[in-house]
Amino acid sequence: MLELDGATKRFGGRVALDACSFVARPGRLTGFLGPNGAGKTTAMRTVFGLVELDAGTVRWRGGPIGPEERGRFGYMPEERGLYPRMQVRDQLVYLGRLCGRPRRAVERTVDAWLDRLGLAARANDRLDALSHGNQQRVQLIAALVNEPDLLVLDEPFAGLDPLAMASMSALLAELAAAGATVLFSSHQLDLVEDICEDVVIIDAGRIVRAGDLAALRAAVPQRFVSVRYRGCPPDWSRLPTVAVVDQAAGRARLRVDRDSDLATVVAVVGQAAELVSFAYEPPSLSELFREAVAA
C-alpha cells in the first residue's frame, strides 16, 4: 500500500500540496483526478523523491521509501521522454538494470513486453525511428522493466487513440489483478469510472475526496433520476425538491435528495406523458468530481 500522510510542499509562496493524505491499495486501480495545476504531478513525484516534501511523509507498505523500495517502483512521467538516439531494447534493458535487477532478468522482462506490445521487430531500432504510438508503448515498458509492485503513471491515456486506450486499460487492470498497486492520473473521467475501484480527487493542493469509488458515490446525499418519456414535457416546477440538471425533448435528468419520494416524480411524468424509462442512480464520477472541485 502506498500512503501519503500530510504531504505538504511549497514552491516559493505557492502551496503545491497542502497536507495531502490518501492511500493507493494493492490489487486495485486508483484514479488520481484533479484540475490542471491541482498538484497531481507534484504528489506523484514525491513518491520517487523527485520533490522533497516540506512536511509530511510518503510510506510504502508502512515504511519509509529508500533506494531499495524505489527499485521496485515503476513510473511514467507526464512529460514523456527517453534517449531519442538509443536503441529501444538497449535503452529498456539499461533502465531495468538501473533498478538493480540482474541483466538476464531484465532482458527476459523487456523481450516479453516488446513481444506482447508488437515491438519485437523494432527492438534494435533507434527510438526516434518509431511512430508516436510505438514510442508511447516503449515509454510504458520503461515503467514496467522491473516488474514493479507499485506503478505510478502520470496521464497514461493522454494522446492515445481509442484502441490504444482500450488496451492500456486492459493492461493496467491486468497488472492490478496480478497484485500491483496502480495509481494513475487522468482527465478522462468516464474511463476512470469504468476501470478504477478507487479514486483520489485533488483540488488546489488539497485532497477533497479519496477512497472506494462506489462508496464515494453512495455517500453523496444527492441522487440522479434519468427519465425518458413520450408526450409533453412534464411540469417539474411542481416538485420543489427536484432540480433539473439537463433536459431535452423526450428526456430529462433530475437531481433529487437521497430520501425523496420517487413516486411523485413518476406521477408528474404520468400527468403529461407516457413514461418510457426511469433510472435512479448515484452521481456519475464527473458529477462527483464537479461537485467536489467546486466546493
Partner 1 sequence: MNGTRQAWLVAAREVRERGRSRAFLVSFVLMLLAAATAVALPALLDSGPGTKDVGLSGPAPAAFGPALEAQGQAVDTTIRLQRYDTVAAGQAAVRDGDIDVLVVDARRLEWRTRADEQLQAVVTGAIQLVAVQERAAAAGIDADELAVIVAPVPVTNVELGQVAGRSPDDETAAFIMTVVLFGAISTYGAMVLSGVVEEKASRTVEVLLARMPARHLLAGKVAGIGVLGLAQVVAVAVVALVAAGTVDSVDIPAVRSSVLAWAVVWFVLGYALYATVFGTLGSLASRTEDASSVTGPVTVVLVLAFVVSFAAIGSADTTWARLVSWFPITAPLAMPNRIAMGAATWWDPLVAVALTLGAIAVLVVLGGRIYTRAILHSGSMLTLGEAWRDAVSAGATAAARPRRTGPARP
Strand partners, 24: 2
| 57 near partner 1, judged by CB under 8 A | yes
Q: Which is nearer to partner 1, 54 or 274 (CB)?
A: 54
- CA nearest to 150, candidates 66, 72, 71, 39: 72
Smallest gap, in angstroms, from Cβ of residue 67 to partner 1? Answer: 5
Binding flag, residue 49, partner 1 (CB under 8 A): yes
Determine, following the binding rule CB under 8 A, whether residue 53 of this chain makes contact with partner 1. yes
CA distance 58 to 56: 7
| CA-to-CA dists, residue 253 to 226, 243, 259, 260, 277, angstroms | 4, 9, 17, 15, 12
- Interface with partner 1, residue 59, by CB under 8 A: yes
Q: What is the DSSP letter of 39?
A: S
Q: Is 151 in the site for partner 1 (CB under 8 A)?
A: no
User: Residue 73 CB, nearest distance to partner 1 (Å)?
Assistant: 7
**Closest CB to partner 1 among residues 19, 266:** 19
9 binds partner 1 (CB under 8 A): no
CA atoms within 13 A on the CB side of 67: 4
Phi, psi of 65 (to 5 degrees): -105, 120
Among 2, 24, 29, 58, binds partner 1 (CB under 8 A): 58
Burial of 85 (0-12, 13-18, 19+ CB in 10 A): exposed
64 binds partner 1 (CB under 8 A): yes
Are β-strands 206-212 and 243-248 bridged in parallel, bridged antiparallel, or unpaired? unpaired
The least distance separating partner 1 from the CB of residue 159, rounded to whole angstroms, comes to 14
In contact, 45 and 51? CB cutoff 8 Å: yes
Minimum separation from the CB atom of position 114 to partner 1 (A): 17
Q: Is 13 in the site for partner 1 (CB under 8 A)?
A: no
Give 20 or 201: the residue with its C-beta nearer to partner 1.
20
Residue 148 interacting with partner 1 (CB under 8 A): no
Residue 159: how many other CB atoms lie within 10 Å:
12
Interaction mask 81-120, partner 1, x per CB under 8 A: xxxxxx-------xx-xxxx--------------------
Helix, strand, coil percentages in the chain from 3-state DSSP, rounded to 5: 35, 30, 30
**Binding interface with partner 1 (CB under 8 A):** 5, 45, 48-54, 56-59, 62-68, 70-71, 73, 75, 77, 79-86, 94-95, 97-100, 142
